[in-house]
Chain A
Amino acid sequence: MSKKSKVDHGKMTKRQWTWHMMKRYKIGYIMIAPFMLLFFFFTIIPVIASLLVGFTDYNMLEVPNWVWFDNYITLFLDDELFITALQNTMIFAVLVGPASFILSFVVAWFINELSPRTRSIVTLIFYAPSISGGAYTIFGYIFASDSYGLVNGWLLKFGFIDSPILFFTDVKWIMPLCVAIALWMSLGTSFLSFVAGLQGIDRSQFEAAAVDGITNRWQELWYVTLPNMKPQLIFGSVMSITNSFGFGGVVTALAGNPSTDYVAYTISHHIEEYGGARMEIGYSSAISFILFLIMITANSFIVKLLSKVGE
Chain B
Amino acid sequence: MKTAGTFVRSILYQTVRILMFVQILLGALWIAGNFSTFQSFPETEELRQIADTLVTDEYVGILYPCVVKFAEGVSRFCPVPYYCLIYFMQLGLCFWTLWKLTGKNPGKIWLVLWLMTLPPAAQFNLAVLPQSPAVFMLLLCFYDSRYGKWIKAAVCWLLGGLLLPEFFLFGGGIYFAGLIFKMIRRRIPKRMVFQGIIAAVLVCLLTGITDSAAVEVHSRGRMARTPAAMALHRCVWPYFSVNRSFWAEEAKEAVSEESLIEISRDPGKVSREFGLVMEKTYGVKQSQSIYWKMAKDSFRIGTKKVVGDFTMDLLGYALSPFVIVWNLRGYGITFSGWNYSMMQHHTPNLTKYYVYYAGNILPLVLLLALALYLWNGDKRGFAANAQRMGLTCLGVLSAVVALWYSLSASGMQDYKNAILITIFWGLLVTAFMEEKKSSFNEQK
Decide if A and B are genuine partners: no
